[in-house]
């Protein structure tokens, strides 16, 4: 409130000072009224009104440019507050074309804030960015580079790549730095497109400007994470840089809170941790400088602790060195600021953290407890965890903590009873958040027992499970997963110990389906359970009387919409009519653990088949022979061929050469003829070519089918899980130390309150004793941490390795399956086939009514097929419907066979058929849009 008053006062006094003079009164009023809005609804109203007026005014003709700039800023404001200002995007794009830096910068700012990298307008900005990257004014170049980082997507990278690479050698360090970052971004978006430029990063590492060097560490960190071994040679350079940083050789401007360039230090330490991990020789170089940093770090400031933490992570990740480990341990205790000998205080600190009001601390504590769980303290810890799990609402964390409870219980359970009780609790409270696998594990565990050959113990386990489940069934609202487990166990073992009668259990199972609003899966489990119990009864020679509720359940299910439920109901009815011996062999008692051997060849049918054939039946023809496999592979290769020529071209269109000499090399066709100097031209060409060569491969792999294209978009938005899976390779010791730092930061505060009440104290001590064991202290905690550290290290070392091993293989396969990318694919549309002929003449010939003889025939058929194919590509319907007609098949074949041939034998024909491409162009124009191949949604919208 106070602040709002200040705003009002200052505005009334007009004391905005120098900074705010740029804006008009309207804008100030807008901001002010937003500031005074008392509710979100009021704020929304104001913004909606503002958007309406902007929509009107921005479309007026001849808006002065300064005014337009303000409109754009107001749009940014509206968008920032969560409203849609998409009508103004195009104006922001237009503003980037402006010559004045001020307007251009505003345009770029708005565009980077408005557009996501897959927006359709991006293509309109690429040209501006290209132009600005060539500007003499380094500030314009900077603005363009910043925009490029945000906006340039996988498809448009080739358009700006050569210029960005050139800028790496720009005289201004700010430009070099941004160029490095832009290149890094490109690498993140599409590693293949810049893979040939990675050496540039190494070069920039030696840049004179520490800012550029610091920026280079970001891409190098990513590269090293992906592939450690290729960068081992850089260890010495990194170490010497770190040494210089630590010795304060960098300019004073990089100091931060009396630390020498801490952010650079942190990045270097992260890199060294990767490089030194599991490598004795590399680690040998690192020890010295790490020791220095340990000595110089002070733990009085946040940033000092940040560096120290990174140091400790590094020490624990590289090849172990006793001295450094000691130093790390000492620093940890320095961080803790508590005498490490007094282990009990740590324990109490941990207990305190469990009751801390700060949720973050609680979670960290549970993380710590999870790591130090042993069979002696598992009961206390899991109980605490479950209590905490019940108390929170955050589903994400609930899932995590539930899975941890399950894991600990499976690993350390002291008794079967306890295990089942714990699992019951977890299921009851976390419910469907628990992984299905866990439920299956529980069922298997109950069925198999704990692996001992003690039948008595197993049956005891089962009956205790049955008892507890019968009790739990009385409670309202059980999660479906838990009900499934209950049904299964009751069906399998409900009557096993003879304590409960079959009708009692069946009655309970019927209740399950009625009382709990359950889904089909639970119903299926329940009816199967009833079937099993009936079967056991019949097999035992007892008569099964049908309860009325059971009968009504069967009736209901046999009329169910779910065919699965129906089948189960009918099976049960059929089973009830069978003879006891037959029933016993259909559903034997306690046979859930027995393996069922499936005869895949159906050999028991052989005699029947033989008989039938003898009687004159036709033999079976395998599916593959019936349909002709080979057409499929051809079909896909055709698609790859087609889409690879869809990439956009960003170079200026070449001037048509009236009559090039036949001796002129083929290459000159696609080079830019606007360049007058021949030598740089070729270098430009080769570089560009490398990039373009990679581009089609990528496209072919990521864009060979319409449906798949759509998937790409989806993955982009939800691509997180895959990444997090690969990034979860952190050493667990890291987390642990992390936990400790938090704990002890608080233990300091809480110590005061700790000694207040003796009664509480002793209770806590008891809890501590149960957690840590009677005499357990630091001494016992430490070995677990060190044991875990190397384990985690091997994991980190291995996992990326696996990922690496997989990915090149796949890419190789991909490369093998896709046709070799044609060099001329990029310069697609009008690449002349025979340079001696005037291209225009040829064009006329193609369009004109007098076509050439055989080649044209061929291309006409292909283009005919291409037209529906193109449509199919974007409408998501598999093209097989049109092309699987048997008569069309032959044509398709011949066409398909021809097109790869033409590609593979460059002497016959280079590049795609001009007629073909013309036709395609025409189709595209007919559709109204250039098929970029990366924007399936757009096409879906257009084509319905």
Partner 1 sequence: MVRLYPNRCQLVGSAFISGFLISLVRSFIHFVILISRQGKVRLTKWYSPYQQKERSTVIRELSGLILTRGPKLCNFVEWKGFKVVYASLYFCICIDPDDNELEILEIIHHFVEILDRYFGSVCELDLIFNFHKAYYILDEILIAGELQESSKKTVARLIAAQDSLVETAKEETGSISNMISQAM
Please list every residue from 743 through 782 that binds partner 1, using CB under 8 A. Answer: 745, 749
* Residue from the set 33, 44, 46, 117 that interacts with partner 1 by CB under 8 A: 117
The answer to whether 121 contacts partner 1 (rule: CB under 8 A) is: no
Task: Please name the residues in contact with 97: beta carbons below 8 A apart, sequence gap of 6 or more.
Answer: 104, 107, 128
Adjacent-strand bridge partners of 318? 277
User: Which CB, 31 or 354, lies closer to partner 1?
Assistant: 31
Q: How far apart are CA 876 and CA 586, in angstroms?
A: 46
Q: Say what angle helices 914-927 and 854-875 make with each other, to 10 degrees.
A: 30
Out of 623, 625, 756, 841, name the contact with partner 1 by CB under 8 A: 623
Among 43, 50, 345, 896, binds partner 1 (CB under 8 A): 43
Kindly tell me which residue out of 24, 120, 169, 188 binds partner 1, with binding defined by CB under 8 A. 188
389-408: contacts with partner 1 (CB under 8 A): 396-397
Please tell me the count of residues contacting partner 1 according to CB under 8 A: 116
Single out the residue of 333, 441, 467, 631 in contact with partner 1 (rule: CB under 8 A): 631
Contact 720, 187 (CB under 8 A): no
Nearest one of 537, 624, 616 to 584, comparing CA atoms: 537
- Out of 47, 58, 76, 144, the only residue in the binding site for partner 1 (CB under 8 A) is 76
**Rounded to the nearest whole angstrom, what is the least distance from the CB of residue 185 to partner 1 in the complex?**
4
Q: What are phi and psi of 392, to 5 degrees?
A: -100, 160
Q: At which residue do the structure tokens 């004391």 appear?
A: 15
Candidate list 196, 206, 256, 686; residue touching partner 1; CB under 8 A: 256
627, 761, 894, 937: which one binds partner 1 (CB under 8 A): 627
Least Cβ distance, residue 360 to partner 1 (angstroms): 5
360 binds partner 1 (CB under 8 A): yes
Tally of CA atoms within 13 A in the half-sphere of 280 that contains its CB: 0
Considering the complex, state which of residue 730 and residue 842 has its C-beta at the smaller distance from partner 1.
Answer: 730
Angle between helices 480-493 and 416-430 (to 10 degrees): 140
Q: Which of 29, 247, 355, 359 binds partner 1 (CB under 8 A)?
A: 359
Question: Judged by CB under 8 A, does residue 7 bind partner 1?
Answer: yes
Rg of the chain in Å (alpha carbons) = 36
Smallest distance from partner 1 to CB 290, Å: 16
Tell which residue, 229, 312, 311, has the closest CA to residue 268: 311
Contact call for residues 220 and 231 (beta carbons, < 8 A)? yes
User: Which of 135, 459, 811, 875 lies at the binding interface for partner 1 (CB under 8 A)?
Assistant: 811
d(C-alpha 272, C-alpha 286), whole Å: 7
Least distance CB 161 / partner 1 (angstroms): 16
The helix (H) or strand (E) run that includes residue 280 is helix 280-296
Show contacts with partner 1 in window 632-651 (CB under 8 A): 632, 635-636
Helix or strand holding residue 472 (H, E): helix 455-472
Minimum CB separation from partner 1 for residue 305, in Å? 6
The reply on whether position 305 binds partner 1 by CB under 8 A is yes
Interaction between residue 904 and partner 1 (CB under 8 A): no
User: Mind giving me the DSSP string for 624-652?
Assistant: HHHH-THHHHHHHHHHHHHHHTT----SP
- For 261, how many CA atoms within 13 A lie in the half-sphere containing its CB? 24
Binding mask 816-835 for partner 1 (x = CB under 8 A): --------------------
DSSP helix/strand/coil, 309 = helix
**DSSP code, position 657:** P
Phi, psi for 318 (deg, rounded to 5): -80, 175
Interface residues for partner 1 in 189-218 (CB under 8 A)? 189-191, 210-211, 214-215, 218
Closer residue to partner 1 in complex, CB, 263/684: 263
The reply to whether 105 sits near partner 1 by the rule CB under 8 A is: yes
Give the pair of three-digit tokens for residue 397.
């964390």
Instruction: For the CB of residue 868, give the shortest distance to partner 1 in the complex, in Å.
Output: 16
Q: Rank residues 661 and 724 by Cβ distance to partner 1 and give the closer one.
A: 724
Cα angle vertex 618, ends 615, 622, to 5°? 140
CB of 691 to partner 1, least distance (A): 16
Q: Helix or strand or coil: residue 655? A: coil
* Residue range at the interface with partner 1 (CB under 8 A); choices 289-297, 592-600, 662-670, 808-816: 808-816
Of residues 20 and 412, the one with the C-beta less far from partner 1: 20
Does residue 248 bind partner 1 (CB under 8 A)? no
Residues in the chain: 944
CB 575 within 8 A of CB 531: yes
For 751, the token pair is 């110590």
Instruction: Pick from 137, 237, 580, 581 the residue near partner 1 by CB under 8 A.
Output: 137
Among 26, 57, 59, 82, binds partner 1 (CB under 8 A): 82
Region from 607-615, 698-706, 855-863, 932-940 binding partner 1, contact rule CB under 8 A: 698-706
Interacting positions 284-303 with partner 1 (CB under 8 A)? 302-303
**Rounded-to-integer distance, Cα 404 and Cα 434, Å:** 10
Q: Which stretch binds partner 1 (CB under 8 A): 381-389, 404-412, 713-721, 908-916?
A: 713-721
> Which one of 109-117, 457-465, 543-551, 587-595 is the stretch in contact with partner 1 (CB under 8 A)?
109-117
- Residue 205 C-beta-side C-alpha neighbours within 13 Å: 22
Among residues 163, 701, 832, 932, the one that binds partner 1 under rule CB under 8 A? 701
Cβ atoms of residues 792 and 733 within 8 Å: yes
Nearest partner of 696 among 638, 632, 635, 648, judged by Cα: 648
């Amino acid at each position: 409130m106070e602040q709002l008053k200040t705003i009002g006062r200052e505005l009334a006094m007009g004391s905005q000072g120098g900074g705010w003079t740029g804006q008009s009164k309207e804008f100030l009023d807008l901001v002010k009224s937003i500031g005074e809005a008392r509710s979100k609804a009021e704020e929304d109203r104001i913004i909606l009104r503002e958007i309406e007026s902007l929509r009107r005014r921005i479309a007026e003709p001849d808006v002065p440019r300064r005014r337009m700039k303000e409109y754009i800023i107001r749009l940014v404001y509206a968008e920032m507050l969560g409203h849609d200002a998409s009508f103004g995007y195009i104006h922001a794009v237009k503003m980037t074309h402006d010559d004045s830096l001020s307007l251009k910068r505003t345009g770029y700012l708005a565009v980077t804030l408005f557009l996501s990298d897959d927006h359709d307008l991006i293509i309109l900005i690429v040209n501006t960015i290209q132009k600005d990257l060539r500007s003499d004014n380094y500030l314009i170049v900077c603005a363009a580079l910043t925009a490029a980082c945000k906006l340039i997507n996988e498809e448009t990278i080739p358009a700006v790549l050569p210029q960005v690479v050139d800028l790496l050698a720009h005289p201004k360090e700010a430009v070099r730095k941004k160029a490095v970052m832009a290149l890094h971004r490109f690498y993140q978006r599409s590693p293949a497109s810049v893979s040939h430029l990675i050496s540039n990063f190494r070069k920039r590492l030696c840049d004179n400007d520490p800012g550029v060097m610091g920026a280079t560490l970001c891409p190098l960190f990513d590269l090293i994470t992906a592939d450690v071994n290729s960068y081992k040679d850089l260890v010495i350079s990194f170490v010497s840089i770190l040494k210089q940083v630590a010795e304060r050789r960098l300019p004073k401007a990089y100091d931060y809170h009396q630390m020498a360039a801490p952010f650079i230090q942190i990045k270097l330490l992260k890199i060294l941790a990767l490089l030194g991990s599991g490598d004795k020789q590399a680690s040998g170089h690192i020890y010295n400088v790490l020791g220095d940093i340990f000595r110089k770090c002070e733990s009085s400031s946040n940033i000092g602790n940040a560096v120290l933490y990174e140091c400790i992570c590094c020490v624990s990740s590289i090849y172990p060195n006793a001295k450094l480990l000691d130093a790390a341990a000492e620093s940890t205790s320095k961080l803790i600021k508590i005498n490490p000998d007094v282990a009990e205080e740590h324990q109490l600190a941990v207990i305190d953290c469990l009751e801390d009001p700060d949720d973050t601390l609680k979670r960290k504590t549970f993380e710590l407890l999870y790591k130090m769980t042993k069979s002696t303290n598992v009961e206390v810890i899991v109980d605490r965890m479950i209590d905490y799990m019940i108390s929170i609402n955050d589903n994400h964390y609930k899932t995590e903590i539930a899975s941890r409870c399950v894991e600990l219980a499976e690993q350390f359970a002291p008794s079967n009873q306890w295990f089942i009780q714990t699992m019951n609790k977890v299921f009851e409270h976390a419910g469907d958040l628990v992984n299905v696998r866990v439920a299956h594990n529980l069922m298997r565990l109950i069925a198999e027992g704990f692996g001992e050959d003690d039948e008595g113990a197993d049956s005891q386990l089962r009956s205790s499970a049955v008892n507890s489940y019968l009790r739990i069934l009385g409670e309202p609202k059980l999660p479906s997963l838990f009900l499934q487990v209950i049904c299964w166990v009751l069906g399998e073992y409900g009557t096993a110990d003879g304590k409960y009668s079959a009708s009692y259990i069946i009655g309970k199972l019927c209740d399950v389906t009625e009382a709990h609003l359950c889904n089909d899966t639970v119903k299926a489990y329940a009816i199967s359970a009833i079937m099993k119990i009936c079967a056991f009864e019949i097999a035992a020679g007892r008569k099964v009387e049908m309860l009325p509720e059971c009968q009504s359940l069967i009736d209901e299910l046999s009329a169910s919409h779910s065919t699965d439920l129906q089948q189960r109901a009918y099976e049960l009815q059929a089973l009830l009519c069978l003879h006891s011996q037959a029933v016993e062999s259909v559903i034997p008692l306690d046979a859930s653990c027995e393996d069922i051997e499936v005869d895949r060849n159906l050999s028991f049918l052989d005699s029947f088949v033989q008989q039938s054939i003898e009687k004159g039946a036709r033999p079976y023809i395998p599916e593959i022979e019936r349909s002709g496999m080979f057409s499929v592979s051809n079909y896909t290769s055709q698609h790859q061929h087609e889409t690879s020529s869809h990439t956009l071209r960003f170079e200026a269109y070449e001037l048509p050469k009236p009559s090039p000499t036949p001796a002129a090399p083929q290459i000159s066709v696609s080079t830019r003829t606007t360049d007058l100097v021949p030598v740089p031209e070729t270098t430009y060409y080769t570089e560009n070519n490398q990039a373009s060569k990679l581009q089609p491969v990528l496209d072919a792999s990521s864009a060979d089918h319409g449906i798949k294209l759509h998937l790409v978009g989806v993955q982009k938005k939800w691509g997180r899980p895959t990444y997090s899976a690969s990034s979860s390779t952190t050493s667990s010791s890291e987390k642990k130390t992390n936990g400790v730092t938090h704990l002890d930061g608080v233990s300091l505060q809480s110590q005061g309150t700790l000694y207040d009440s003796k009664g509480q104290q002793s209770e806590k001590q008891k809890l501590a004793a149960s957690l840590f064991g009677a005499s357990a202290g630091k001494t016992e905690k430490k070995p677990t941490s060190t044991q875990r550290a190397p384990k985690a290290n091997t994991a980190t070392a291995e996992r990326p390795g696996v990922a690496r091993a997989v990915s090149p293989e796949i890419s190789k396969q991909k490369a093998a399956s896709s046709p070799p990318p044609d060099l001329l694919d990029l310069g697609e549309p009008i690449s002349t086939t025979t340079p001696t002929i005037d291209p225009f003449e040829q064009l006329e010939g193609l369009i004109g009514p007098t076509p050439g003889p055989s080649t044209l025939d061929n291309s006409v058929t292909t283009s005919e097929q291409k037209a529906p194919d193109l449509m199919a590509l974007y409408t998501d319907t598999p093209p097989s419907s049109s092309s699987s007609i048997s008569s069309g098949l032959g044509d398709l074949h011949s066409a398909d066979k021809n097109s790869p041939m033409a590609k593979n034998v460059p002497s016959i024909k280079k590049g795609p058929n001009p007629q073909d491409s013309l036709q395609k162009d025409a189709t595209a124009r007919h559709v109204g849009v250039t098929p970029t191949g990366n924007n399936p949604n757009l096409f879906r919208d257009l084509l319905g």
